[in-house]
Amino acid sequence: MHDAYADNRQQLHDLRNSFTLPDEAIGMAMFLGGEFQGADLFDRHSTLQHFWSSLLDSYLIGFLNVQSEEAAEPSPDAIAKVLDEVTKAAWESFTPPGAGLEWRTETDAYSGSALVWNDESVIHMQVFPKSTEPAEPRGLRPRRR
């Protein structure tokens, strides 16, 4: 993975700079061509701010070899539908190394986990589609060199 970052440093830098962390944001959801790629939610803005660059890079590195002829926007309620499905699913708890309690869930379409502190505060929740590859939605195809 380090080689992927090093080989694409300038392209990744330019792409990263096209995103701005909104004031008071506590999470991000990433879509590629209208297709859900993942979401990360945090307990507060300062936590997201701390992880913003590395988290953004983790999504963007998968987008470097994809080009869009027609960028498709996600529907306004796209992330709400994902979160609704995941929050209604059964969650199972696990004791992680360190503090807190980890909760995990799986639906037909998504996998999710959450680190919860003191049974009341979600420190970090992440949700991903079950596909291991970034989706190639309509209007997107791999870039050929």
What confidence score (pLDDT) does residue 40 get? 97
Looking at the chain, the number of H-run helices and the number of E-run strands are 4, 8
Instruction: Name the E strands within 5-45.
Output: 27-32, 35-42
Q: In this predicted model, which residue has the larger pLDDT, 9 or 55?
A: 55
Q: Which sequence spans correspond to the domains of the chain? A: 2-132
What confidence score (pLDDT) does residue 138 get? 39
- CA distances to 23, 39, 46 from 104, in Å: 29, 14, 24
> How many percent of the chain have pLDDT more than 90?
52
74: left (phi over 0), alpha (psi -120 to 50) or beta: beta
The reported pTM is 0.79
Is the model's pLDDT at 143 over the cut of 50? no
The owner of tokens 């392209």 is 11
What confidence score (pLDDT) does residue 69 get? 52
Average pLDDT, stretch 15-41? Answer: 91
Read off the pLDDT of residues 32-60 as tens digits, 9 standing for 90 and up: 888 899 999 999 999 999 999 989 988 88
Which of 68-77, 96-105, 124-133 is the most confident on average?
96-105
38: CB partners within 8 A, 6+ apart = 29, 30, 59, 126, 127, 128, 129
